[in-house]
Structure 1
Amino acid sequence: MPQVSQLFFKSATVFFLLGIIMGLQMGISGDHSAFPAHAHLNLLGWVSSAIFGTYYALNPAKATGRLPMLQFIVYTVGIVVMIPSLYFLSLGHAAMEPLVGIGSMIVLAGVLLFTVVVFSRQA
């Protein structure tokens, strides 16, 4: 399996674990105000990262070079910036809104890089 696939699956697993912990915390406390962060973490962190990893595993020629690794780094940094900011924004900390926006733009950049990989002529 290509290294970028392994990295996406490893990060997806960590994000999935964190999403489960966040969901348990909300359920136990009865405070579900952070559900947007929980949903985004599970969808972007767990599901999308696993899909990226699967794509690269099924298309190993597309997993070579610098672009796939750059896509992994950019996308993952975006999630790491966006999700905690969204969590605190959901809890009422309005000062986090700019960080949510910055994280969202970084995630978008990671998705754009993935789109370039998918549409590239390489294999």
Structure 2
Amino acid sequence: MRSISTVFFITAAVFALAGMAWGIQMSASHDHSLSPAHGHLNLIGFVAMSVFGTYYALSPRAAESGLAKVHYLVATASVVVLVPGIVFAITDRGEILAQIGSVLAVLTMALFLVVVLRHGIERGSRAVAAE
């Protein structure tokens, strides 16, 4: 089984590739009307997921916690729901997915805060509590 940090990094890379392809498509079509959704895909899908993966790589005890797996699932769900939700909102097809995705994104960050407060960052064999 892959470590949670590896799973975060793999997912981040998939989201980054999707964001890059979408950016190329927008550039080729000269239609940037969906750029807010594209930006959220890159920011939450790639940047935040990479930050989370880095934290878990540096904090093995946190990575082994059940909360880390929940964090991954909520983080992935937030991107999968929020990005299409923003597209729907921009194209006047409703805002409910964007609203749900936004709540999931906030929950993702709140879970990250709980994990960091609970586990800190490990250095060598001892954990350094969050200060």
Please report the TM-score for the alignment, with normalisation by the length of structure 2: 0.86
Find the counterpart in structure 1 of residue 64 from structure 2: 64
What is the RMSD computed on CA atoms of the aligned residues? 1.4
> More relative contact order in 1 or in 2 (CA 8 Å, sep 6+)?
1
CA contact (8 A) 2:62 2:119 kept: no
Greater share of helix residues, 1 or 2? 1
1:118 pairs with 110, 116, 119, which one?
Answer: 116
User: Identity over the aligned pairs, expressed in percent?
Assistant: 43
Alignment of 1:1-20 (within 5 A): 3-20=3-20
Count of matched residue positions in the alignment of Structure 1 and Structure 2:
120
Deviation at 1:33, TM superposition (A): 0.3
**Aligned AA for 1:87?**
V
Deviation at 1:121, TM superposition (A): 4.5
Name structure 2 gaps, 5 residues minimum: 121-126
Distance in 1 between residues matched to 2:116 and 2:104, nearest whole Å: 19
CA contact (8 A) 2:82 2:97 kept: yes
Distance in 1 between residues matched to 2:119 and 2:16, nearest whole Å: 33
Find the counterpart in structure 2 of residue 49 from structure 1: 49
Name structure 1 gaps, 5 residues minimum: none
Please report the TM-score for the alignment, with normalisation by the length of structure 1: 0.91
CA contact (8 A) 1:76 1:107 kept: no
Alignment of 1:33-112 (within 5 A): 33-90=33-90, 92-95=91-94, 97-112=95-110
Greater share of strand residues, 1 or 2? 2
Deviation at 1:65, TM superposition (A): 1.7
Distance in 2 between residues matched to 1:79 and 1:104, nearest whole Å: 9
CA contact (8 A) 1:8 1:72 kept: yes
